Chain A
Amino acid sequence: MNLSSVSKAKLAIGVALAVGVLLVASSLASGQWVVAGGAGIVTLASVLAARWLWIVDASLHKACSVLAAASQGDLDRRVVNIGDARGVIGQMLINVNRLLDLTEAFTKEADAAMGCAAEGRYFRQILHDGMSGEFAAHADLINQALTSMDSRTATFAKESTAVGGTIKTASQAMAATATELEATSRQMREIAHTSSAKSADVARVAEEASTDVETVASAAEQVSTGIREIAERVSHSAQQAKATVQKVGQADQDIQSLVEATERIGEVVNLITAIANQTNLLALNATIEAARAGEAGKGFAVVAGEVKTLANQTARATEDIVKQIGAICTATETAVEAIAKIGDLVHDIDSASTAIAATTEQQSMAMTDISRSIHNVSAAMRSVAGTISDVAGTADTATEAAGQVLAAAGDLAERTVRMNDGIDQFVDRVCSGIGRR
């Protein structure tokens, strides 16, 4: 340490002073004036030297303690009351202060600038003024760093806000879509649910309808069979009618011969009538003859009366016969007319039944066709029922899927909302973290 040198110097000056004083005393005692004068100068010089040394010592002490504090990181202390110290020592003390002033100014500035930067306020830079040499260079460096930090954080904040904005727009769109999706899937679920129920209904109805149609088909078949039977019967009756016509023709002939026979009977009757009339006349004559013959003729008259009665009875009988023949004639005429009418009718029936037969044949065929198509319809319906059952199954699956989608959409919507908040918070955090808000 310097102190040791100063101490030595103090010691040396002390010795010089002591020697000087002794020398002054002894030379004065021995009357050696010249020596005494020299010793006096030495002594005076020593005193002055001692005083200067004190000042130097005190200055060094001050500088030392300030520097010691500074070396411990205490930059606040300064050397004061420099007044007495001049020259190099004084300059040294001023330089100690100057160094500390600069260092403290630098650290304070750096602290303040960094403190502000930490809050994202970059306007506060290290003041270049007052800084010199490396302090100024370091200050410039830090300021450059702050400027670039400023622009970078500004860019970063701008970009992260923009990115945040973009993400937010996207996620808002997503949220909107999710909400839409939610609504759609809700609708879908309802639709699927409804269609499931409906298709189940339809399947059931179709199944029922199919059964009904089947019944109809068999009914139609029966109808068809019935029609065929009718057709057969009709054609049978047509044939019978034809046979009847033939028979009627026969009857006509029979009647004709009957008429002829009647006519012949009439002739016979006429003959009989004529004979009866003759007989009556003869009887009358006989009676007359008998009456002439009196008694003899009495028995004869009785026979003649008998003959006359017989002739009258014959005449009456023939009259009856004529009457009856007339009746027969009238009856046959009526029969002939009737037969002719029957023939016509039977003819009509015949043609009608032929027509009916043709029609029923057609109908029967049509009915068969209908029955077949009804069968087809029934099959189709059954397959529809099957398909619809499938649809119902699919609709059930769709309902389930829609339910899942709904849940997922809800979840998505919730998440996007959370994400939105998250993004806002993130951007806020980012920006406030770099002091841009």
Chain B
Amino acid sequence: MAKNSVILTGVERTFSSDEIIVSKTDLKGRIIYANEVFQRVSGYQEQELLGQPHSIIRHPNMPRCVFKLLWDTIESGKEIFAYVLNRARNGDEYWVFAHVTPTFDRSGKIVSYHSNRRSPRREATKKVSDLYAQLLAEEDRHADRKEGMAASTKMMIDVLGQIGKPYDEFVFSL
């Protein structure tokens, strides 16, 4: 979705810490299931979500490299945690602490993807949004999408290198 074509209200939505936003997608990231909390928080009805690409709730402030890391990780069969800022139907925004995992069939082949999202702590989203802003700025510095993403990915690796933690531990330490 092009950045300037989406409506943003700047209003933040939240959900309860004992709730989980659940969605499942096919291998291409098209939504095949979205739970009731998903529907309520995103403001979309089930019918509007089913079959749609997950980027339907993509927020323009999210750096691309995060989704690249997400896809690279889950496609390699591993779980990933990521703080993601989403955009509700009406342009409101909401932070989630997303846990995305591949679902395997009996032969071990990935058949779909699954995501549980929890309500993140404010300190964490604060730190993350600072980092994401930097990554996004890095991406915007490059005219070429691929170049931008490579640059921001490198930046993220550098940050992790400075912290001295693998990505998953870093995410949990926030």
Contacts and interface: CB of A to CB of B under 8 A. Distances in A.
Nearest to A97: B35
A329 to B, nearest CB: 149
B172 A123 contact: yes
A101 B22 contact: yes
Interface stretch (A125-133, A159-167, A306-314, A405-413): A125-133
A264 interface: no
A5 interface: no
A267 interface: no
Given A112-B79, A132-B18, A127 B118 contact: yes
Contacts of B173: 123
A281 interface: no
A262 to B, nearest CB: 153
Interface stretch (A80-88, A150-158, A237-245): A80-88
Contacts of A94: 36
B129 interface: no
A94 B22 CA distance: 12
A129 B103 contact: no
A81 B22 contact: no
A81 B18 contact: no
Nearest to A131: B18
Given A112-B79, A129-B18, A130-B116, A81 B24 contact: no
Contacts of A124: 168, 172
- In this complex, the interface size class of chain A, counting residues with CB under 8 Å from chain B, is 20 to 34
B50 A98 contact: no
Interface in A165-192: none
A83 B118 CA distance: 25
B50 A81 contact: yes
Contact of B119 (A121, A123, A129, A136): A129
A127 B50 contact: no
Q: In terms of DSSP, what is the predominant structure of the interface of chain B?
A: mixed
B101 interface: yes
Interface string A206-227: 0000000000000000000000
B46 A81 contact: yes
A108 interface: yes
B14 interface: no
B148 to A, nearest CB: 31
Given A108-B101, A129-B17, A101 B46 contact: no
Contacts of B33: 78, 80, 97
A142 interface: no
A105 B18 CA distance: 12
B58 interface: no
B104 to A, nearest CB: 10
* A interface: dominant SS: loop
Contacts of A83: 45-47
A124 B103 CA distance: 19
B46 A82 contact: yes
A277 to B, nearest CB: 172
A76 interface: yes
Interface in B1-40: 17-20, 22, 24, 32-33, 35-36
Interface string B28-69: 000011011000000001110010000000000000000000
Interface in A56-112: 76, 78, 80-83, 94, 97-98, 101-102, 104-105, 108-109, 112
A130 B118 contact: yes
A105 B20 contact: yes
B114 interface: yes
Contacts of B45: 83
Interface string A109-147: 100100000000101100101111000100000000000
Contacts of B112: 76
B169 interface: yes
Contacts of A129: 17-18, 20, 97, 118-119
Nearest to A77: B33
B99 interface: yes
A279 B50 CA distance: 214
Nearest to B166: A121
B35 A98 contact: yes
Given A123-B172, A129-B17, A130-B20, A108 B116 contact: yes
Interface in B78-123: 79, 97, 99, 101, 103, 112, 114, 116, 118-119
B22 A76 contact: no
Contacts of B119: 129-130
**3 closest A-B pairs by CB:** A130-B20, A129-B118, A101-B22
23 contacts: A76-B103, A78-B24, A80-B32, A80-B46, A97-B35, A98-B35, A98-B36, A101-B20, A101-B22, A101-B35, A101-B116, A102-B20, A108-B79, A108-B99, A108-B101, A108-B114, A112-B79, A123-B168, A123-B169, A124-B168, A129-B20, A130-B119, A131-B18
Given A76-B24, A80-B46, A129-B97, 8 more contacts: A80-B32, A101-B22, A112-B79, A121-B169, A123-B169, A124-B168, A127-B97, A127-B118
